[in-house]
A and B are shown apart, each in its own frame.
Chain A
Amino acid sequence: DTGVSQDPRHKITKRGQNVTFRCDPISEHNRLYWYRQTLGQGPEFLTYFQNEAQLEKSRLLSDRFSAERPKGSFSTLEIQRTEQGDSAMYLCASSSGTGTYNEQFFGPGTRLTVL
């Protein structure tokens, strides 16, 4: 088991461009989460998948953001028309089973810089 992986690790883009990030969870983990972490702050919840179903989205996730998990395995997070305020670390986590006590395993994150 190689853990949660994210690609790319770093992304620099110009304002107005679209970007897409990928997350590969630990195999057979049915739950997948996306968080955003800005400098000096704790991560903030963005969205959650149970298998392929997106079951919750934070109000932080504006219409420019979309996330998918088409086959219940890897997930993508797309940001359209990026803004400088989107600059942050985007973290993916996965967990198994149900309930609120299951440990979430985090990936290394994708650091986005919008110029």
Chain B
Amino acid sequence: AQSVTQLDSHVSVSEGTPVLLRCNYSSSYSPSLFWYVQHPNKGLQLLLKYTSAATLVKGINGFEAEFKKSETSFHLTKPSAHMSDAAEYFCVVSPLEGNTGKLIFGQGTTLQVKP
């Protein structure tokens, strides 16, 4: 079975400093991987997705993630945090079997951005 593990439940950074949110996945084959963001009282929004075309994936709002098969990781980064980045972030895998497109979410990482 496929799964994702987010290694930090809470990350705190200062505005203007880099952001690193860590995610490891478990899969017997190359998975479909995503990062979603959930702002308070707002719906989940797709940040970026890995489609096997390129290992470095660029998303919205300056975020990017690198797929590393040897480390089974898909960490999310941003060079400089903004106050508006404070939210809950989910690393997500979509199993290929059945071709349903259903999503399996990690536990989430709360990003706090301090002024």
Give chain A's interface residues, CB within 8 Å of chain B: 3-4, 31, 33, 35, 40-45, 48, 50, 55-56, 91, 93, 95, 98-104, 106-109
For the complex, what is the distance from the CA of A3 to the CA of B44, rounded to whole Å?
12
Residue of A with least CB distance to B32: A100
Task: Find out whether the CB atom of B44 lies under 8 angstroms from the CB atom of A91.
Answer: yes
Q: Which residues of B contact A43 (CB under 8 A)?
A: 44, 90, 103, 105
Task: Find out whether the CB atom of B103 lies under 8 angstroms from the CB atom of A101.
Answer: no
Q: Which residues of B contact A103 (CB under 8 A)?
A: 46, 49
Q: Which residues of A contact B42 (CB under 8 A)?
A: 108
Knowing A41-B107, A42-B90, A100-B32 are in contact, say whether A106-B44 is a contact too (CB < 8 A). yes
| 5 pairs of A and B residues whose beta carbons are closest in the complex | A42-B105, A106-B44, A106-B43, A100-B94, A100-B32
Within the complex, the shortest CB–CB distance from B18 to chain A, in Å, comes to: 24
Interface size on B, residues (CB 8 A): 25
Residue of A with least CB distance to B50: A101
Knowing A42-B107, A100-B94, A103-B49 are in contact, say whether A56-B43 is a contact too (CB < 8 A). no
Task: Find out whether the CB atom of A95 lies under 8 angstroms from the CB atom of B101.
Answer: yes
**Contact partner, A42, options B41, B101, B106, Cβ 8 Å:** B106
Q: Which residues of A contact B49 (CB under 8 A)?
A: 101, 103
For the complex, what is the distance from the CA of A33 to the CA of B44, rounded to whole Å?
13
B61: Cβ under 8 A from any A Cβ: no
* Centre residue among A40, A42, A50, A106 by max chain B CB count within 10 A: A42
Q: Which residues of B contact A35 (CB under 8 A)?
A: 103
Task: Find out whether the CB atom of A45 lies under 8 angstroms from the CB atom of B43.
Answer: no
Within the complex, the shortest CB–CB distance from B105 to chain A, in Å, comes to: 3
Within the complex, the shortest CB–CB distance from A101 to chain B, in Å, comes to: 5
Task: Find out whether the CB atom of B102 lies under 8 angstroms from the CB atom of A99.
Answer: no
Report B57-115 residues with CB < 8 Å from chain A CB: 90, 92, 94-96, 98-108
B17: Cβ under 8 A from any A Cβ: no
